[in-house]
Amino acid sequence: MTGAMTGPGEPPHVVVVGGGIAGLAAAYFLRDCAASITVFEGSPRLGGKLAVSDVAGIATDEGAEALLARRLEGTDLIRAVGLGEKLVTPGTTAARVWTRGTFRELPGRQFMGVPSDFGELARSDVLSDAGLARARLDAELPATPLDGDVPVASRVSARFGQEVVDRLVDPLLGGVYAGRSEELSFEATLPALAAAARRHRSLAQAVGALLPPRPQAANGARPEAVFTTLAGGLGTLPPAVAAASGATLRTGSMVRELTRTQHGWRLVIGPASAPEVVAADAVVLAVPARPASRLLAGAAGSAAAALGEIRYASMAIVTLAYPRSAFGVPLAGSGYLVPAVDRRAVKAVTFSTVKWPHLLPGGADVHIVRCSVGRIGDDAILQRDDAELAALAAQDFAAATGVSGGTVEARVTRWGGALPQYTVGHLDRVARIRAAVAAQPGLAVCGAAYDGLGIPACIATARSAADQVLGYLATRSGGRGGLDRGDGGQ
């Protein structure tokens, strides 16, 4: 058994468990403190859900591929670590819905599928006539009683009817969470809309109040892009953040135990046959809910219990490269969503080389298409092997677009237990976790399990975890003119 132990007079040691974007961002935000920082990542690779590799010679993201530009936490970090010049905007974000046998425009004036403009909704033809008539009732119905947290589906269907849920909201939520609107919490998955809904009787009006002005109202200026990404792939962000953090980075180092000691923390790392024991003054847990729950079982039982209640969805990304010649007509828009009620294998498709023109700088001779497969509770499709999954995705894509013929390359990336489900009660769960964690000196948590799955939201949790640790270390250093370790190692 080896031990990384520091003694009195040495700088404090902060351990970050998990080398995804949240853990690496936390290490970066701690970079200037007078502590040594170590990131332990269980897998052989940093980055977690951010990864990039080549398909048909083009660097293509395997996991997250776009970043919400309106929340500045992501773009600020990108600039801070020197990747600002790599930021690129989409060529188009106009998406469609493949439903009721054909492509229909996704209304632009919507918030996670919740519509605000019934004229536009009618023109999109996403809903049947009966569905549209029911949706319009939102304007007339009396206020919906607010009685605590409810599923997205029940809140939205109470206002607009079930078709809006099935054909608009569910596909969009399915794209982000791989989840189901009858389980996901209205308050936790759509917090801005939930807040606006308290001020408006009509949910369409609440959406309207959240959306930016229509482009023509903004003096004809080109509307700011909602999304951005990095030329070279979002998967290039984790290594840049890791390098800029100055932290010691340990991949292949699974943290198996975390226990409280008299003055700090003791971690056990690596295989049972050759465990390494590490002492830390403070610990940031930047891992998904399940490993966080296991690690906190002894030190913070109620946090562990609440973390254990968070379920995860599995999914796969099938990336297909086609010869350009396979496309008779250019693909229109950035891609399409497929409602679960339409019972197709693929739930969303991004026309990567159309959405992101920088992927084809010299007008290369391929098109890249990214197909998203798998929803919570529907894992059967993910049991297929890679070749079957790629064939199924190509078949679905051909049925939707008419593009057939062989692919020049296919890549299947499986993301098992990847997406936390913010089900009804999530906000209470997170409050319980945070209260129990706050009661443990020098402990903080961050990552996708808490306040949002998106990269900026994960970075925001990393910032507050780092702030908590800095506050704790400052308190411990007291008026002694610097930070010191109190436990002298374990």
Footprint on this chain of ligand FAD (rule: CB under 6 A): 17-23, 40-43, 48-50, 63-67, 254-255, 286-288, 291, 315, 317, 415, 418-419, 447-448, 453-455, 458
Q: How far is the CB of 65 from ligand FAD (least distance, A)?
A: 5
Between 197 and 289, name the residue whose CB sits nearer to ligand FAD: 289
Q: How far is the CB of 329 from ligand FAD (least distance, A)?
A: 27
Between 81 and 121, name the residue whose CB sits nearer to ligand FAD: 81
Between 135 and 315, name the residue whose CB sits nearer to ligand FAD: 315
Q: What are phi and psi of 400, to 5 degrees?
A: -80, -40
Between 125 and 309, name the residue whose CB sits nearer to ligand FAD: 309
Between 418 and 460, name the residue whose CB sits nearer to ligand FAD: 418
User: For residue 446, what are the CA distances in angstroms to 96, 176, 333, 433, 461?
Assistant: 34, 19, 35, 11, 5
Q: How far is the CB of 449 from ligand FAD (least distance, A)?
A: 7
319: enclosing H helix or E strand: strand 312-323
Neighbours of 482 (CB within 10 A): 10
Q: How far is the CB of 179 from ligand FAD (least distance, A)?
A: 12
* Cα dihedral 42, 43, 44, 46 sign: negative
Q: How far is the CB of 21 from ligand FAD (least distance, A)?
A: 5
Between 35 and 457, name the residue whose CB sits nearer to ligand FAD: 457
> Which residue has 């004036």 as its token pair?
109
Between 40 and 160, name the residue whose CB sits nearer to ligand FAD: 40
Between 11 and 291, name the residue whose CB sits nearer to ligand FAD: 291
User: For residue 225, what are the CA distances in angstroms to 11, 96, 97, 212?
Assistant: 44, 18, 21, 12
Q: Among candidates 266, 298, 287, which has minimal Cα distance to 436?
A: 298
Q: How far is the CB of 231 from ligand FAD (least distance, A)?
A: 16
136: enclosing H helix or E strand: helix 129-136
Q: How far is the CB of 59 from ligand FAD (least distance, A)?
A: 15
Amino acid residing at 145: P
Distance CA 13, CA 35 (A): 5
User: For residue 307, what are the CA distances in angstroms to 203, 363, 450?
Assistant: 32, 47, 10
Both structure tokens of 402: 């008419």
Distance CA 228, CA 394 (A): 27
Q: Among candidates 261, 237, 189, which has minimal Cα distance to 87?
A: 237
Judge whether 298 and 259 are in contact, CB under 8 Å: yes
> Which residue has 């939201």 as its token pair?
457
Q: How far is the CB of 161 from ligand FAD (least distance, A)?
A: 30
